[in-house]
Structure 1
Amino acid sequence: MNVLLRLWKMAAVGAAIVMLAGCWSATELKNRAFVSVMIVDLKNEEVELTLGIPLTNRLIPGQTGGTGGDGSQRPIAYVTRRGGTLEEALQKIQGDIPRRVAFGQTHSIIMGSRFAQKGVGPLLEFVSRNPFLKLNTNLFLVEGYAREKVAEMPATFERFFISVLNGYVRNHQILNTTVKDLMFSKANGGDGLIPILRFERKEPSLKADTSANVGTAGSAILREGKMVSPTLSPEETSSARAVIGQLKQYIYSVQSPTDGKEMGFYTTSLTTHIRPFKTREGLGIVIRSYSNAGVIASDSDIDLSKQANVERLEKEVKKFADSTMLSVISLTQGAGADVFNFGRYISVQYPKDWDKLKSDWRAYYKERLRIRVESVISLRRVGSSTDSFRSGFISREQSEGNNKGGNEAWNFNP
């Protein structure tokens, strides 16, 4: 028995050693071309696929993503081919490079607006059928021709351009839409939102640097998987993110209830609950949001040490939150696109009513669905000063102006 036990122990140790080798594939790393970003465009009525592939032979520690080994070459290559389908374009790309294309490191897919207007269905089909593309891959949209704008973009704050996009998503600074989100919305009608990237030329510097900067530019509305008008501005996109619970922090201005002057606020800890309701008039959606707010600037003379004034401010912030969310929902209703998937909540709560409405849901959403927003605001931080610093400085300047010439105590003659 002791000999048998020893043999079992030796077999277990041997199996563990084999597993530690880490060899899970017969393909060597040096024979793989790891795709960091996919760019999908529509040009001359053909699908244009571009793969961004880091070049390991140009990666030198300490250098930025805009230069390579000789100071001019970039450490990433963009390979582009066209075809009738994405599969055909991918096959052509595979024939152009000596390594096997690998999608294990692909975190972002960028679409041009022409492709999105025709429909994102082929892209969802391509990703869902490819076992190496992850369903949590982030989706972005660029107005116009995406390939040229992305290829010209240097990574100023990060080593690679893809790291900039990952940072936007990781720090919750942009609408987060993944392939999985659109596949889920397709099952519920095909409506959704996609964040838009903005590329702007920098002002010419002393070195005549006119490269582009990347930023956020709102979001695009998808109806039945196709991009439609209008596009949402960055402010409207922030309200849309608040509806779906993606807005972690937001800075805005509200007029003071005492004198109408501007006051700056920031909102944190925002949570949203969506619940359908039913009355004799029909179906509706109530959106309840809970958030904490703080004051970061004030031009008003309101006394924030009084609880009554704090409660008045909370009501003003509530009006602002309610109106902005209702406004962006109204825009989506005008487009006939249920981008927030309200239909899913109704189908769960009222399945019999949903069976009658689902064939004509967009028309019902556009014309009859009632929306109610109820924001609960808690003003937690009003700052260390209950009065405005600016009003104090203005009062002092006015006082000194009135006394000009009457008091020479500040004059100093060496």
Structure 2
Amino acid sequence: MDLLVQARWVQSTSELRSCLDPKLDNCTQCRGHSKNKPTCGNPISRASRSQIAHVLQDIIKSGSILSAAKHLQQLASLVLCKRWHQTQVAEKVAEWTTCLRSFLEVKPSPTKKKADTEKPSSATTSCLSKQPERRAIRILKIPQPITKTEEASGSAKPIKEEHDEKDVRLDSLAAYKKPIPHSGAETKPRIHYFEPYQRPKTAGRINNDIVEKLTAPFNVRERKAADKGDGYIYGYKLPRDHHERGGGSCRMIKIGYTNNPQRRMREWGVQCSYEPQVNFTIRSAYYVKIEEIIHLQLHNERRKERCSVCYRQHHEFFEIDTSRAEAVVRMWTRWAQLQPFDDDGRLSKYWSLKLADLDMEDPDCWERFLCEKVKQGGKSFLIKRRVEALRFAC
């Protein structure tokens, strides 16, 4: 591999955008190419758009093409739609690397005299601008671009909007293959850096948040899910070779919702390059709203992390025992079977009156709200709330 001389580096985001792609200034559409047009045109998610400016700053701070390689890969992943064109990440990185080399007038080592008089090709002339030369010189090795992979089929109808928790067509996802370690070699553990999702809250504040959610009408996403029918609340843990910072095994459990558990686990496997270890999958009515209520109750155990593979911020992990997580999920999903909401998503009159009996400072008040035991004839019976609700209605 040839040694290259780099005499300067980009100094501002405007300079970097003019070199890589001027449309990075306000990038709202996928920068991948399809068979019939130069750019895909599919919208990229709001989460991806919000990270572009930070990655551009990281590239400027890196100081060299070699150090910027990983940031260029991250940037390419952000500006390419997740549905069709993630296969073009390596191609986009190679294209940008070429533009940077031409912009910086990176040349082979002076031992080759011909290179001193070479002019940049016409394809990259637009990336050039006059910059004051600096005396500091670095000898760099430019990483070889990865071989271009085959573009995903463009025959399917493009999506209208992209979301972080969307449903993806199965035929648009590559099959997840569990990595096979080399014989005689130990698999290097993958380290995760979890941190609290937000500041801790008191029991009273958490309970008030739950009441507000229970009494609020459906939002657009909850309405759409409720109209389609039941879904699922799932919980999974990371593989055993995934560790937390400090060396301990990862005890986090992810709690989310889906209308197709098998597909959702496959999506996580492809997106984050691991095989989810599913602990429970529980059917639920109003599953989008119920999932958010569960997250509110477990607020103080909630954690977040920026994924080292997909570069997204995952914020649905909980530092909690699997048994407790499943118990909380089952408690709320069984209650949801009693159809406690009206057509607009508000609590029925019966359940609204029950809220008045709650001790809002009691962290266990929801167990008594959803089900209670009474003694009759020396035996304990679980009173079904559906029966009480029917009597109240009469």
Q: Indicate the structure with greater strand content.
A: 1
- Structure number, greater radius of gyration: 1
* Bigger relative contact order (CA 8 A; separation at least 6): 2
Question: Normalising to structure 2: TM-score of the pair?
Answer: 0.22
